[in-house]
Amino acid sequence: MKTSRTSRGEQMLPAKQWWKSSLKHQSTSSPTRQQEPSFPCSNTVSKIRGQVNSPGYPQPEGLLGECMTKYGCDMGKETNFGGALIDIGDSMKRMAEIKDSLDIDVKQNFIDPLQGVAEKDIKDIQHHLKKLEGRRLDYDYKKKRQGKIPDEEIRQALEKFHESKEMAEGSMHNLLETDVEQVSQLSSFVESMLQYHRQAAQILEELSDKLSQRVTEAHSRPRQKYTPKPRPAFDYGELENSNGGYSPAAASPPAYSPAPAQYPAPSFQRASIKNRPRESDR
């Protein structure tokens, strides 16, 4: 008789359920976890371990910083808006760097130990629970056939059941006894996040001061009045040909004057229907 995964999970202690839910949350944090790594700093972590197999994801702050820096340079560093874009771009790049450091710290100090517990301690507990379930079923079967089978077999089945029960309880007890290490890992996780947010706040405060200074300078600077450039006048004077030849002076076009009429203009006036002669009058 096979037991479902849900029924086995109900027999586990809350500690095991917490570990499983934590790992499940880790695996579902990425929408394409089966095809892609879960951390954007996987390339950096691979470099630390000496394994560079696949490129990592760039941080969104870094992409935003590169975009602002590019278009700030296109507008010109001497312009107020272009310089502000460059300042923000540099700050975003710095935030991307400290976020990479956060990912590395969390991976080494929290995720890796959590993965180790899941792959070793939790698997041992699951193995003992599965073995315990099998021996319980064996003992129940032999107990129902009491009188038909020797009592020694029933006694051995009961001893094996108690042995598996003690091993399962011992493995779960050992997991709970490592709570000091687990709390220390959680503390490292929170400390890494706190360090990241401190550095990010410092970068943003420096950026805010720079932008405030730019706003103050822009308000104090006098507004420049726009003066259109004079339009060049067309010259009808002597021009030289492109091949060095001589071209006569171009005379200004003569003024237009209507020519006198030599012939009388034809009349287009037509007689109305009332003024036409009738056939009876002819």
Concatenating the DSSP letter of every residue in 64-133 gives HHHHHHHHHHHH-TTSHHHHHHHHHHHHHHHHHHHHHHHHHHHIIIIIHHHHHHHHTHHHHHHHHHHHHH
pLDDT for residue 165:
92
User: Where does residue 25 rank: exposed (0-12), middle (13-18), buried (19+ CB within 10 A)?
Assistant: exposed
| Residue 145 domain-assigned (yes or no) | yes
Task: Specify the residue for token string 């500690």.
Answer: 15
| Structural domain for 179, as ranges | 57-220
Task: Retrieve residue 186's tokens.
Answer: 């959680």
| Domain total in the chain | 1
pTM: 0.55
HSE-CB of 241 using CA atoms within 13 angstroms: 6
CA 204 to each of CA 62, 161, 198: distance values in angstroms, whole numbers, following the listed order: 14, 62, 10
Q: Which of 21, 33, 52, 39 is nearest to 106 (CA)?
A: 39
| Residue 153 domain-assigned (yes or no) | yes
CATH of the domain at 109: 1.20.1270.60
pLDDT for residue 27:
47
| Residue 240 domain-assigned (yes or no) | no
pLDDT for residue 49:
46
Walk along the chain (282 residues) in steps of 10 and give the mean pLDDT of each run: 43 48 48 41 44 63 94 91 94 95 93 89 91 92 87 90 92 87 92 96 96 91 82 66 52 54 53 54 52
Q: What SS3 string covers 10-21?
A: HCCCHHHHHHHH
| Residue 44 domain-assigned (yes or no) | no
pLDDT for residue 277:
56
pLDDT for residue 232:
80
| Residue 30 domain-assigned (yes or no) | no
Task: Retrieve residue 20's tokens.
Answer: 């499983």
pLDDT for residue 18:
47
Task: Specify the residue for token string 């499940």.
Answer: 24
- Could you tell me which residues come within 8 angstroms of residue 180 by beta carbon, excluding any fewer than 6 positions away? none
| Residue 270 domain-assigned (yes or no) | no
| Residue 114 domain-assigned (yes or no) | yes
| Residue 260 domain-assigned (yes or no) | no
pLDDT for residue 8:
43
